[in-house]
Structure 1
């Protein structure tokens, strides 16, 4: 399974909290998504699902056109709703909510638990449609993806920060071993080299 963050937006450059505000990819973001879509198409994905917010939906569209697999859009894959934080820069957030910003505790926003629940439900639905041994690509948003990846790895929501950030248009790869998910790659922008699994048995 592969989790892919959307390409760059103008608000990413300005370090504004996007949340569920429907911001488009900028010119660089489109170029990132076009390049990454061609790279990921070589993995022959079986199922592609994406957030319905434009920045993720348009990113997924590049992969769909490159590999011929249609994109299914799911609101459950949206970014965390940021309430009154949306549109503000990191500096503005720190000035107004210094403690809350440090903890990412949004006073009128969506809880991390709620994000994890809906993301997990959306991923489980998509996995149910993915053939055995097939590849599911999930196109979503940085914060939401870290929450669901952490959950799939068996980590508590509060431990999600052990995963570093996902850069624009980068991805993480999870694989199964003995019926457990494990992280194979994180924040990647190129295809993985083959890994010999016997070296850590």
Structure 2
């Protein structure tokens, strides 16, 4: 049986401003973020992680690399674990956008996404398919390092919740906190959320 541990990447230089870093953005980690990555590596060793998988984006790779190196295992990159593409919101804060567009977005981010954004359902299905593939391809304990919005939307799909509610159901994933899920053998059945936001 595969044990899936999901971890949001470490803190980036855009974190404090809550600037949207999506599938096109590559902000660097802060010094604190680099320390968080090292702490995640220690936790991965303590938990006996067997496999480390990461989004190919720089902030995720920089977070996951210390764990892979500490464990002496290769780092597996999956392009389908890239963050959601936020379209015209990418690289901006909500305060920099049109207030009426922000109001509609907060009310229903699926229907009222910013122009050129990836649909939430598409992103969620992409994440769910990636996690199912990781679950099928690997045995033991697997650490998957990716992104907050992608994971939260993907969890909605896996559990069977409306993706438009992802902010309400899963309001926050802390940087490098671990979320453990169990996927059923039958993909038509919902996943089990075993723990969430467990800090290393």
Partner residue, 2:123: 115
Asked if residue 43 in structure 1 is aligned to residue 47 in structure 2, the reply is yes
Asked if the contact 1:47/1:126 (under 8 Å) is kept, the reply is no
3-state SS in 1 of match to 2:153: helix
Which of 169, 176, 182 is the equivalent residue of 1:175? 182
**How far off is 1:93 after superposition?**
2.9
**How far off is 1:156 after superposition?**
3.0
Asked if residue 166 in structure 1 is aligned to residue 173 in structure 2, the reply is yes
Aligned positions, number:
188
CA 1:122 to 1:175, structure 2 compared with 1: closer, same or farther past 3 Å? closer
Asked if the contact 2:9/2:63 (under 8 Å) is kept, the reply is yes
* TM-score, normalisation: structure 1: 0.85
* TM-score, normalisation: structure 2: 0.85
Asked if residue 95 in structure 1 is aligned to residue 121 in structure 2, the reply is no
Which of 84, 105, 108 is the equivalent residue of 1:80? 84
**How far off is 1:176 after superposition?**
5.9
CA 1:52 to 1:176, structure 2 compared with 1: closer, same or farther past 3 Å? closer
Which of 8, 12, 17 is the equivalent residue of 1:9? 12
3-state SS in 2 of match to 1:13: coil
Whole-angstrom distance in 2 between the partners of 1:130 and 1:57: 19
**How far off is 1:159 after superposition?**
3.7
CA 1:26 to 1:108, structure 2 compared with 1: closer, same or farther past 3 Å? same
**How far off is 1:177 after superposition?**
8.0
Stretches of structure 1 lacking an aligned partner (at least 5 in a row): 191-201
CA 1:158 to 1:82, structure 2 compared with 1: closer, same or farther past 3 Å? closer
3-state SS in 1 of match to 2:53: strand
Asked if the contact 2:44/2:143 (under 8 Å) is kept, the reply is no
Whole-angstrom distance in 2 between the partners of 1:99 and 1:41: 44
**How far off is 1:170 after superposition?**
1.4
Partner residue, 1:189: 199
Stretches of structure 2 lacking an aligned partner (at least 5 in a row): none
CA 1:44 to 1:15, structure 2 compared with 1: closer, same or farther past 3 Å? same
- Superposition RMSD in Å: 2.0
